[in-house]
Amino acid sequence: MHGRCVRAFLAAMLLGGLYAAPAPAATKNFVAVLNGGQETPSTPSGAFGVAFLTFDDKTNSLCYFISFTRLEGGLETAAHLHGPAVPGKPADVVVALVAGNPKNMCVTVPASLPNGFKAKRDIKRGMTYLNIHSHDFPGGEIRGQVIPVK
């Protein structure tokens, strides 16, 4: 009798909407360490950077804070998020980042691109990278793989 009452109570709660199952987290945190050795091809630059990122897979919103030391190749000319790519491999631009140091902004990442990029899958799997371009290194002076924080 007691067991039937408990089951009936639980069923009523579920049907009545009184029980809210925990929602899966929509946001995930990431980090990247940028340097010339990770560029493709690598650069002799001694510049160094760090990035902290948060990706919301419900809205495809990527918020980032990126700071780097003075570039050796002159002024920054561009900065991008690229993907999909494993370390050492080049990839297409996914999102252009704001100029300046530090960078602190939120952008919407396209859900997919013609090159096979799938935002939710590739960002979460560490298949994206950031790079900062400069005058003397137009292909990129420093680069860092975007790594999920567990």
Using a 10 angstrom Cβ sphere, with 0-12 exposed, 13-18 middle and 19 or more buried, the burial of residue 24 is: exposed
Domains of the chain: 24-148 (2.60.40)
Angle at 88 between CA 82 and CA 90, to 5 degrees: 40
Structural contact between residues 51 and 70, judged by C-beta atoms closer than 8 angstroms: no
What is the model's pTM?
A: 0.82
Residue found by looking up tokens 């948060």 in the block = 54
pLDDT in tens, 55-111: 998 999 999 999 999 999 999 999 999 999 999 999 999 999 999 999 999 999 999
pLDDT above 90 covers a percentage of the chain that reads 79
Contacts of 23 (CB under 8 A, 6+ apart): none
Angle at 57 between CA 51 and CA 58, to 5 degrees: 140
